[in-house]
Amino acid sequence: MIEILYEDGEALVINKPGGLPIDQPRRGGPSLDNHIEQLKLGFQRAPVPVHRLDTDTSGCLLLARNPKALVRFNRAFEERAVGKTYIGILDGVPAQESGRVELSLSKISSAEKGWRMIPAKKGKPSITDWQLLRVHNGRALVEFRPETGRTHQIRVHAASGIGVPLLGDPVYGRKGSAPRTMLHASELCLLRPGKTDITANAPMPPDFVALGFDDG
């Protein structure tokens, strides 16, 4: 069962498990589609994801319950009217305790390594604010507040901007250092003029707690 963090007539926010892809993988296997019937919650329409989270990333995922809501929510993301907070475990400890990373990103691809995002002057502007929360066993728990929503933004900004990659990141860090890329979408807030704002908080995931980072 997928945990529901927020529900009303036009929106759901779920706590997406780490490792669950939003789209059906080409090689087969489970995805969010396998849970859609459960997430209808008595509605005839299936809810539709408004934004993306990487397969490994856990936490707050907003779904729209009707087409009009989907249009409004998409516009809110485009206009940067959605507050998003992530927490991640870095594979080391950064030199500073906080900062702002401004690195434009471009997509590259090769037959050997597949595709990835890289910092590039001619790429799409990308901004992430970050704050060190705690250090344990030579690793750092960091809060990220992205202003933009580029593909792999936090992962690249951690590795190339902060200088320490996310633990477990197979593309921008050390593959196999953790079972997954240790990134969690902890909070989401979408302002709705004239209506109750959508706010959701996803609790610390068990695999973060197992590494010594609890909610305390």
Give the pair of three-digit tokens for residue 196: 């109750």
In the prediction, which pLDDT does 115 show?
87
Pairwise CA distance, residues 129 & 67, whole Å: 32
Q: Is the pLDDT of residue 97 over 90?
A: yes
Sign of dihedral through CA atoms 155, 18, 151, 98?
Answer: negative
73 Cβ contact list (under 8 Å, min separation 6): 11, 50, 62, 64, 190
Whole-prediction pTM: 0.94
Domain presence at residue 216: no
Check if the beta carbon of residue 124 is closer than 8 Å to that of residue 150: yes
Q: Are 32 and 19 in contact (CB under 8 A)?
A: no
Give the up-direction half-sphere exposure of residue 168: CA atoms within 13 A in the CB hemisphere: 17
Question: Residue 155's CB: how many other CB atoms inside 10 A?
Answer: 23
Tell whether the model's pLDDT for residue 50 goes beyond 80. Answer: yes
CATH of the domain at 112: 3.30.2350.10
| Residue 110 pLDDT level (bands cut at 50, 70, 90) | confident
**Boundaries of domain holding 53:** 3-210
How many independent structural domains does the chain possess? 1
pLDDT (tens digit, 9 = 90+) per residue, 169-193? 999 999 889 999 999 999 999 988 8
Please give the Cα distance from 96 to 123 (Å, whole number): 26
Query: Alpha-carbon distance 169 to 127, whole Å?
Result: 20
101-121 average pLDDT score: 89
| Per-residue pLDDT band at 207 (split at 50, 70, 90) | very high
Question: Is 180 within a domain?
Answer: yes
Among residues 126, 128, 160, 166, the alpha carbon closest in space to that of 144 is found at 128
Whether 150 has a pLDDT exceeding 80, the answer reads: yes
Token digits of residue 104: 């434009």
Per-residue pLDDT tens for 115-148?
Answer: 899 999 999 999 999 999 999 999 999 999 999 9
| 137 within domain boundaries | yes
Active-site positions?
54
SS3 (DSSP) at 160: helix
Tell me what the mean pLDDT of segment 36-51 comes to. 93
pLDDT at 109: 86
Q: Average pLDDT, stretch 34-50?
A: 93
**Interacting residues of 80 by C-beta distance below 8 A, sequence separation 6+:** 147, 148
Query: What pLDDT, on the 0 to 100 scale, is given for residue 216?
Result: 62
Mean pLDDT rounded to a whole number for the chain: 94
Is 215 a member of any domain? Answer: no
